[in-house]
Amino acid sequence: MADFFASKSFTALSDLHPSMANLKVIGIVIGKTDVKGFPDRKNIGSERYTFSFTIRDSPNHFVNVTSWGNEDYIKSLSGSFRVGECVMIENPLIQRKEMEREEKFIPTTPSNCKLLLSENHSTVKVCSVYEVDNKLLSLIHLPVKESRDYYSLGDIVANGHSLDGRIINVLAAVRSVGEPKYFTTSDRRKGQRCEVRLYDETEALFPLACWDNESILLAQSWTPGETVIFAADVRISFDKFRNCMTATVISKSIITTNPDTPEANILLNFVRGNKEANVFDDEIGSHLKESINLNTIVEVYTVEQLKAKALKNERKADPLYGILYAYISMLNIDNETTNVVRNRCSGCGYIVNAASNTCTTCHRDSLGYKSNFSSFDMLIDVTDHTGTLPSCSLSGNVAEETLGCTVNEFLAMTDGQKTALKWQLLLERSKIYLKGSSPAALSISAEAADMESSRASPVFQDLRLRIRHY
């Protein structure tokens, strides 16, 4: 490690000192806050923007980095990297940390310094995974607290009210990740919320609330029934409406996904054991179904209307939900040359790169890469009297539900059985619940020849079919 820093002339975070100048540091981003705007006192009427992140370059050293500036600079800087990526910072300003006051709000960092970025003097470069040492990348799986320093969910419930308001560490498995909800507060501020449900050997269900986009983004990468998290510095409270204890991610929290610790491995074995014994499978499934309540989707569209709406909505990030009465016009499940089942990474749920045998999303290198599981992942065409929606993604549980069989049952079928299954569904009038996640991708996806690129920009995903017999 020392050689690595010396050869690239990086200063190790452990060596930072407020009197230093012109330095260059590198680290993996282990925490990040949302961008916030504040009225500029020096410049009445305008706003200044800020966001912070925490970088780590060794098991024991990480620092908090804060950046201030105008809206464009801050938003583009914040948008340029995510938790889990490595950044190289040149010319940051080093400040002494005001211990007591600040650590109420920020991750408790071992160093007595913090870094400040200024648009004019500092530069931040996002490093490609190929440029950085594996040792640095593997730090993403190391909790920021001592691996045994956590409460089990059962401990929290048993302690009850005495933990209300306390900030503690939790090690638990992810049981479900809810759909993020977006809302506007009464004072017209935008807000968002996402509820994650946790479990462990001692407690079957425990809510964890995320109120900021960065933690929601992280939570969306977790796989229910597979991912274990070490959540450092989450706030525990008693929810009097639901009459239960809950945890909340706050600006001080740092969450480690799939921690590489003995305690986490024991929990992971428990999780896998339960999965094999099917103890939680049904419940996890039903929670996932709950995450989008189909009853709330009422808008009915034709294919033509959807295409028009998709184009009009081009710049909006909000997903589009709707019902379509149509039939499946292309369902290639009995063709050897078409991939219907793919391997997903157990760590983050994303597709594993079959050629390199690695998950490029979370682990990135074969050392950190743990395992994969099979999941349906197919593209189908949907047609009604007004036209065809090509390459809609049908995957995961929803695909199992639609085909009426599990991935393993499907893989055990003969070609003849697959063809029979296909004709049960093809050209049948169906009620289709759909989610258009990236309407702008409409034309791209129709042209995309190979599965990989069309997967990256699905037009309508989460299709749920209800076969109706007319």
Interacting residues with ligand NAG (CB under 6 A): 31, 33-35, 52-54, 64, 66, 102, 105-107, 118, 120, 182, 190, 192, 213, 251, 317, 335, 337-338, 343, 352, 354, 357, 371-372
* Residue 33 Cβ vs ligand NAG, minimum distance, rounded to whole Å: 5
- Smaller CB distance to ligand NAG: residue 239 or 314? 314
Partners of 192 in beta bridges: 182
* Residue 354 Cβ vs ligand NAG, minimum distance, rounded to whole Å: 5
- Smaller CB distance to ligand NAG: residue 287 or 363? 363
* Residue 358 Cβ vs ligand NAG, minimum distance, rounded to whole Å: 8
- Smaller CB distance to ligand NAG: residue 202 or 437? 437
* Residue 89 Cβ vs ligand NAG, minimum distance, rounded to whole Å: 13
N- to C-terminal Cα separation, the chain: 68
- Smaller CB distance to ligand NAG: residue 58 or 192? 192
- Smaller CB distance to ligand NAG: residue 354 or 456? 354
Tokens matching residue 84: 């889990």
- Smaller CB distance to ligand NAG: residue 210 or 324? 210
* Residue 359 Cβ vs ligand NAG, minimum distance, rounded to whole Å: 8
User: Rounded to whole angstroms, how far apart are CA atoms 385 and 378?
Assistant: 23
User: Rounded to whole angstroms, how far apart are CA atoms 212 and 459?
Assistant: 26
* Residue 68 Cβ vs ligand NAG, minimum distance, rounded to whole Å: 8
Tokens matching residue 53: 């992140």
- Smaller CB distance to ligand NAG: residue 189 or 242? 189
* Residue 216 Cβ vs ligand NAG, minimum distance, rounded to whole Å: 8
* Residue 182 Cβ vs ligand NAG, minimum distance, rounded to whole Å: 6
- Smaller CB distance to ligand NAG: residue 286 or 453? 453
